[in-house]
Each structure stands twice: as C-alpha cells, then as structure tokens.
Amino acid sequence: MILVTGGAGYIGSVTTELLRALGENVVILDNLDRGHREAIPRGVRFYEGSIGDRDLLARIAREHRLEACIHFAALAYVGESVADPARYFNNNVEQGIALLDSLLKAGVRQLVFSSTCATYGEPQQVPISEDHPQNPTNPYGWSKLIMERIMESYDIAYGLRFIALRYFNAAGATTERGELHDPEPHLIPNVVAAAQQQIPAVSVFGDDYPTPDGTAIRDYIHVADLGTAHILALDHLRKGGQSDRFNLGNGQGYSVMEVIETARQVTQLPIPVQVEQRRAGDPSRLVADAAKARNLLGWRPAFPDLASIIRTDWEWRKVKRNTNRSEVTPITTD
C-alpha cells in the first residue's frame, strides 16, 4: 500500500490516478486545505487530516500495510511564504518531521518527496543541474531545502531512503483532473481563465527582469509527466536504489509573454494583460537540466512542448471543470 499525502491536490491526485491505472493500492491523507475531495480517484481510501497528526498516521498504519509514501502535502506559494513564513515552516518542516517519524514508526523506509527548483534560488548558470548551489530566495524554497537536509540525516541514521524530485513549473491537465486553486497563483491557469473571460486580464508580475522581453522565464512540465516521474522514482527505491535528487523539467524556458502568446495561438482568443510589480522572492530565470532523471530513471516527458501543455489545460477547463466528481470513501478521525 502506498500512502499519498496531499493526494486530493493537483499533482497528488493526478499521480494517484496514474498509480491506480497501474494497479497499485493507494491510501490518501489530505487536510483539504487546498485539495479537493472530488479530485480523489474513485474507490481510493481517504483520510482527512494533517501529516502532523501522529495519532492519525498511526491509525492509517494499523489499518493498512504501508510500503512507501509519496509526499505532496505542502504549502507551495512563493508570495504567501514571504508574507507568512511561520505558516510555511510549520506546515512544510515541523509537520514534515512528524510525518517522517510516523513513517519510521510504521516501518516505512521508502519516500518520494515533492521538492522544488525554488531550492536553487537565483541561478548562477542555466540550465540548472542538481549540483547547482542551493540558496533559496523565499521561505517556501527554504522549507523544501530544509526537508531535503533532514531526509539526508534520516537516511544516514535510520535508513529512510528518499528521492527528492525538484519540480520546475507544473502545468496542464489529464482528461479528468487539472489545476484548480482559489486564489489561483499560477500563470497557465490564469492565462486560460482570461481567454475564457473568467478574469478580466492576466497579471504579469514584472516586465523589467534581465530577460529578452523583461518578463520572468520558467520551464513548464506537464502534470502527468510529473506523476510518471514519481512512479519511476518509487520503482528506483523498490529495486534497492539509494537516496538521490532529480530535476524535473523540459529543459526549455519560456517567458511570461511567450506563454501568453502561445495560449493565444492555442485558444484563438484574445488574452488581455495587466503589468504589475514583481512578486517578492521570484527569480528571473529557472530552466531545468533534467538529464539525470532521463538517464537514471528512464523518464521521458510525453508533453515536451508548451503548446501541448497549454492545450490540455484548455480542453480540461472547457469540458471537465465543473463536471469532475468521483466517489470517495471519507474516513473521519473521530
């Protein structure tokens, strides 16, 4: 049985969908702070609660024979982390440590950890490889880097093997699941929302970065490709692989304005733009060198270009946004 924390969230629910398609047994733990009950795939056992609830984790371990954990449950908004760092260190670090302790107590020694390219900070060279210095520019990035260091110590002391997957920018959708936050902080969902006239314009946070058009550059990776990488990482651990860290990205950077123009081409609709001030903690350019994941995990993104990623989000929002409902088995902590 695989425990998926944050399995009602965007990437967690898609990864669960892929795991179930492979016949894996999954149990989800999510506090529904930012996840959606209806995103949980049909028939998957679900516990509503916090990863820091040691009693609840002990109960899950009693009721299921846990083999491994894929850990998504974290707060992940850069700007919010700057405004409220205490919340991020409590949720991502303090409760993350409680999760690690609970896994050890349950006999789980295999962990796939959702990390981030935000651990690198402002890049010294692009594309960014895994040996690039890590110097985050925001508390969110620090919270993930701290957890990476803690997991290293837990591996040495207790044999908790882990894979840290440093995402670049997740985007896109499957036919059943996509990105839906309130408020929505990410570019591609907001670009599509502007095309659908659900918001008046796309906010462009800063047009004075040291980039060709002045807007920040990011590497976008399809959510299903991220899910596949988690499954390959788990297979690596199951085969006796040692703890490691991998970047996940397509290796191609696109500026904010390039994303907007590509979305205009995909949707064939006008997309208004509103330029605003930079957000605190945002680096100018983040592009992945993901050769290590390709070479060691055998990972091959199925959506390597920006247009195909945006198109999946566009199609999901047109057809599925208000119709995705799944049957779940809620289990209370009473």
Quote the CA–CA distance of 116 and 140 in Å, as a whole number: 9
Taking a C-beta distance cutoff of 8 angstroms, is the pair 262, 254 a contact? yes
Q: What are phi and psi of 18, to 5 degrees?
A: -70, -40
Helix pair angle (10-21, 223-238), 10° resolution: 60
Beta-bridge partner residues of 213: none
As given in the structure block, the two tokens for residue 288 are 């992945």
- Whether 209 sits among the annotated catalytic residues: the reply is no
**Cα radius of gyration (the chain):** 19
Helix (H, G, I), strand (E, B) or coil at 232: helix
As given in the structure block, the two tokens for residue 107 are 């006999």
Give the dihedral sign, CA 192/116/240/105.
negative
Of the candidates 221, 226, 223, 230, the one whose C-alpha atom is nearest the C-alpha of residue 176 is 223
Q: Which of 77, 88, 140, 209 is catalytic?
A: 140
Rama region for 15: left / alpha / beta (φ>0; ψ in -120 to 50; rest):
alpha
Give the dihedral sign, CA 280/250/167/126.
negative
Alpha-carbon torsion angle 271, 276, 282, 285, nearest 10: 50
How far out from the chain centre does Cα 165 lie? 9
Active site residues: 140
